[in-house]
Chain A
Amino acid sequence: MKFPVPHDVKANMIPGTEGWERMYPYQYQFVTDDPQRNQYEKDTFWFYDGLHYPEPLYPFDTIWDEAWYLALSQFNNRIFMVPPVRGVDHRIINGYVYISPVPVKDPEEIGKRVPNFMERAGFYYKNWDALEAKWKVKMEATIRELEALQIPRLADMEDMSVVTDALGESHGYHLLKNYDDLINLGIKCWQYHFEFLNLGYAAYVFFLDFAQKLFPSIPAQRVTQMISGIDVLMYQPDEELKKLARRAIELGVDEVVTFSPEWTDVEAALKKLPKGVEWLTSLNLAREPWFNISTGTGWFHHDRSWNDQMNVPLSGIATYIGKLKQGASIDRPTEKVRAERDRITAEYRDLIEKDEDRKQFDELLGCAKTVFPYVENHLFYVEHWFHSVFWNKMREVAAILKEHGIIEEVEDVWLLRRDEIKSALWDIVTAWATGVTPRGTQIWPKEIVWRKGVMQKFKEWNAPPAIGTAPEVIQEPFTIVLWGVTNKSLADWASVQEVGDPDSITELKGFAGSPGIVEGKARVCRTVSEVGQLQEGEILVAPTTSPSWAPAFAKIGACITDVGGVMSHAAIVCREYGMPAVVGTGHATKIIRTGMHIRVDGSTGAVTIAR
């Protein structure tokens, strides 16, 4: 399989973006001036991480990429000593992140790492539940610390308490320090993110692998079904909406709750009624922490939480109130889901012919079941709860940058790298202390206008799915399970590059996320704010979905996503609702348009477009 040479791709510069490299850390560049590094980059296989980054990265948002670049790699390579694999290397072209697992090539070194890995990873597997409980305590403390963090404004005259408390420090210093603390908390949170995740995925991927050896045709979705939890945190926000819908009917305020799609109107109306106030109390209890759920994946600054966009949960509550008043059940069929999971597991198990294999199956299933709750639950803590609070703290920092003329709008802050923000804060604080104008006021606004133009051009660019030289073997568990890098996906990626005209495509392939066949009208929703347009029975086509999209699933007939595997949110929810899903199609939102008649086969992973 041939893929383009990274440096050729990069050299084919989009006109008007020259100099874009300064928007990202220097180590992310494919280079031509360092022969050794250049050769390594050419010999390596890089694939576009479309799973996490459907769009080019804003300079600030690179923080999470750097965070996991470090965290994943260190746990693989320096902490658990995974024998055949080091970390995952990163590059950026035109704002798009390319990654590559780095193997340990020397067999002797691999051998030396084995006992270390057995001891270290073994410790975690053996003590999983106890360590996971510790993790939860650490993580919650980190979030509390983040919530308590103050981003101080700079007063013309410091408060008298600075004097009477003999504080000996200014708010200028606090601003610098607390910005550092904010960033450090973010990095720490991502350290924890990966403490268990690789081991969790390893247990999952090799259970999957064993099941596929036993049953070569077993769909991955069935393996996932055997281990997926029922009581995972990610379902809780949606459960809260259902509770609030029931509560509204109970209190007789359901008509007030549904009278307008605007939260501010609804809230004002509710406040005038005693029962309305009672309902608002229930709502406020649910908001912390559950409404910290992001409306996106949480990876990007533009993924706002329900707390930021109350119209989103309000529309969900209204949908559930509507269903309840029609007499429809809105309960998740948990008993049914559990019974089906147990039936499927038992039937597959009974088909295993050899006792040794059945024993191995039991061992791996048990291990996967132990680790899997973490694999699902960490998302709520990190990507949703922590990130939602973090983005808003950063907006407080941005407000100060704006106040001091560094940026024109709060949302401009994302166009700066986090180290550039640190420099700008030094500029502000020293100028504030001294009583002069920060130098950055004449630098950053112009630069931001230019960077906005660059970002726009990046968005229009089509990132090739893979570049460099394809390897013979991939050992990094994430690469296999999360990105689904297999022989087949490489071939699919290579073939997509060859299709010139997107209007000529009549079939898309993705992962079979949830079985069944549905034909119908497509509705492309790029963000959760567009799900209000969905009509009953339409087929949702989305870049990816997240738990905040949950109410949309009560309406649709099937779902297609650009990114995600059989464990993605869309696949899991569709399996529960018993509707087909094809996930990880790569390009569905670019090729399918609203109103097109399409056929979704969730058992084979095929989407057919009637042209």
Chain B
Amino acid sequence: MGSLAEAIGGLAAGASRAGPPIICWFEECLKDSVPLVGGKCASLGELIHAGVRVSPGFALTTEGFRSFMAQAGLDREVAAMLAGFDVTDLDALEAASARIRAAIEAQPFPIELEDLVAESYRKLAVRCCTPAVPVAVRSSATAEDLPGASFAGQQDTFLWIRGIDEVLAHVRRCISSLYTGRAIAYRANKGFAESEVAISVGVQKMANSFTAGVMFTIHPANGDRSVIVIDSNFGFGESVVSGEVTPDHFVVNKITLDIIDRTISCKEVCYTVDTKTQTSHAVEVPFERQKVQSLIDDEITELAWMGKQIEKHYGRPMDIEWAVDKDLPAGGNIFILQARPETVWSGRSQPALTASAGSAMDYILSSLLQGKKVG
């Protein structure tokens, strides 16, 4: 992956401009780029540096966001609207949110910004050998994804976006999602100053997934750190993330990478792309495929290996979205779409099993006295 980063290193936009860049390719994003590219894009960059494959793409940085807001005078408008605002008044909150969002979505980008995004999108299409390559446009918030401050889903993700006009429109919609009523209220309650709030927007090649799903590098049911748990279904990961189907379920030993448990479910629905509208939609899985394992064993092992690298890189259990791209050959077709710290078990403070480690003898005795429960 390093060579890929080198090969396109020269493509970085905004390099000649003084100050922070407007556009950052994922391979240029690092862990400490969060204030610039937000949590999601920074983590994609980090993943690349951890040796993990991700779908290519770029971020419109917070610098780009600020420049957009400033040039159109939107920042002043928003500040004025929210000054001394009572977020407990829900009707007023929703009304203010709607006004702000409409203003943002109606506001065209300044030409310089638009050119930079358009140029990067065109380069991405060239890289993917696909004209008007379908992309995911998603917000990458600077405060999101941090342990203890997870409010995933508060900002939007738009999938299967094709063509520069659509990309630009959805970048604006992502920006406007920063001002949903819930997000404004959340920031007010947590004490984030509105003037400090910024958002970055990622534009990433859509993985044309044959199979996709989620992976945890900790057992979500019991907190066991020695396993990697993978849920998968045919098509896009939406069906798994939304809980619409019971996915195939694999438990992989993190240390040895062997599959120690598998449940092949009956998967009645999956999401595929409608080639005409370029949108993803649910279709019924053909009967004869419903009980077929949606991820082959070699893919499970490779995926788990990636999961292990990701966890090692971040030094903590991770929650990962992934896909197997059907357009690419086996061996280079498994992509990590997103990785964020696992928050359920990590947030919980687990007591040690032993109050104070005693000798083996003490442990044997106390265990003997407890016995093994049966029945």
Contact = CB atoms under 8 A, between A and B. Distances in A.
A473 B360 contact: no
Contact of B374 (A213, A367, A474): A474
Contact of B224 (A83, A216, A473): A216
Interface string B349-375: 010111111111101110111111111
Nearest to B375: A470
Interface in B182-229: 219, 222, 224-227
B349 to A, nearest CB: 10
A1 B29 CA distance: 59
Contacts of A490: 374-375
A604 B261 contact: yes
A471 B353 contact: no
Contact of A359 (B253, B297, B357, B368): B357
A513 interface: no
Nearest to B297: A517
B226 A125 contact: no
B259 interface: yes
Contact of A344 (B255, B352, B361, B375): B255
B373 A83 contact: no
Interface stretch (A201-209, A277-285, A304-312, A320-328): A201-209
A217 interface: yes
Given A216-B222, A217-B224, A604-B262, A475 B353 contact: no
A480 B261 contact: no
A357 interface: yes
Nearest to A470: B375
Interface residues of A, number: 61
Nearest to B360: A367
Contact of A121 (B297, B352, B361, B369): B361
Contacts of A125: 360-361
Contacts of B369: 83-84, 110, 114, 475
Interface stretch (A30-38, A292-300, A347-355, A379-387): A347-355
A222 B355 CA distance: 26
B360 A366 contact: yes
A474 B353 CA distance: 21
B70 to A, nearest CB: 46
A54 interface: no
A603 interface: yes
Most B CB contacts (10 A, CB to CB) among A84, A368, A490 go to A84
A487 B354 CA distance: 25
B371 A475 contact: yes
A486 interface: yes
A551 to B, nearest CB: 26
Contacts of B354: 356-357, 360
A472 interface: yes
B258 interface: yes
B368 A82 contact: yes
Interface in A447-475: 470-475
B368 A604 contact: no
B260 interface: yes
Interface string A357-395: 101100110111000000000000000000000000000
A603 B304 CA distance: 16
Given A215-B224, A486-B372, A487-B373, A363 B256 contact: no
Interface in A496-549: 512, 515-517
A219 interface: yes
A222 B255 contact: yes
Nearest to A111: B369
B334 to A, nearest CB: 20
A214 B224 CA distance: 7
Contacts of A603: 253, 258-261
Given A122-B361, A203-B360, A215-B225, A353 B375 contact: no
Given A122-B361, A219-B253, A360-B358, A209 B367 contact: yes
B24 interface: no
Most A CB contacts (10 A, CB to CB) among B226, B258, B364 go to B364
A117 interface: yes
B251 interface: yes
Interface string B312-338: 000000000000000000000000000
Given A203-B364, A356-B352, A215 B226 contact: yes
Interface string A147-171: 0000000000000000000000000
Contacts, number: 149
A356 B357 contact: yes
Nearest to A347: B255
Contact of A217 (B261, B352, B361): B261
A186 interface: no
Nearest to A114: B365
A485 interface: yes
Contact of B373 (A203, A355, A472): A472
Most A CB contacts (10 A, CB to CB) among B363, B368, B370 go to B368
Contacts of B297: 517
B373 A84 contact: no
Given A84-B369, A360-B354, A206 B364 contact: yes
B222 A472 contact: no
B255 A364 contact: no
Contact of A473 (B357, B359, B371): B371
A202 B256 contact: no
Interface string A77-119: 0000011110000000000000000000000001000100110
A357 B357 contact: yes
Contacts of A368: 360
Contact of B260 (A207, A219, A359): A219
A471 B363 contact: no
A217 B255 contact: no
B373 A354 contact: no
A356 B356 contact: yes
A363 B352 contact: no
Interface string B260-296: 1110000000000000000000000000000000000
B368 A217 contact: no
B256 A515 contact: yes
B375 A357 contact: no
A125 B363 CA distance: 13
Interface string A210-253: 10011111110010000000000000000000000000000000
A438 interface: no
B244 to A, nearest CB: 27
Most B CB contacts (10 A, CB to CB) among A215, A217, A343, A490 go to A217
A474 B226 contact: no
A363 B226 contact: no
A119 B244 CA distance: 60
Contacts of B374: 470-474, 485-487, 490
B258 A217 contact: no
A373 B222 CA distance: 33
B256 A222 contact: yes
A347 B312 CA distance: 11
A487 B372 CA distance: 9
Contacts of A472: 373-375
A203 B368 CA distance: 10
B41 to A, nearest CB: 29
A183 to B, nearest CB: 34
B355 A353 contact: no
Contacts of A366: 360
A359 B357 CA distance: 6
Nearest to B259: A603
Nearest to A124: B361
Most A CB contacts (10 A, CB to CB) among B255, B261, B355 go to B255
Interface of B: 219, 222, 224-227, 251, 253-256, 258-262, 297, 350, 352-361, 363-365, 367-375
State the 9 A-B residue pairs at the shortest beta-carbon distance, nearest first: A367-B360, A475-B371, A359-B357, A354-B352, A360-B357, A215-B226, A515-B258, A473-B371, A356-B352
6 contacts: A125-B361, A213-B353, A215-B224, A348-B226, A356-B355, A357-B354
Given A356-B355, A360-B358, 6 more contacts: A1-B375, A213-B353, A215-B227, A348-B255, A471-B374, A604-B262
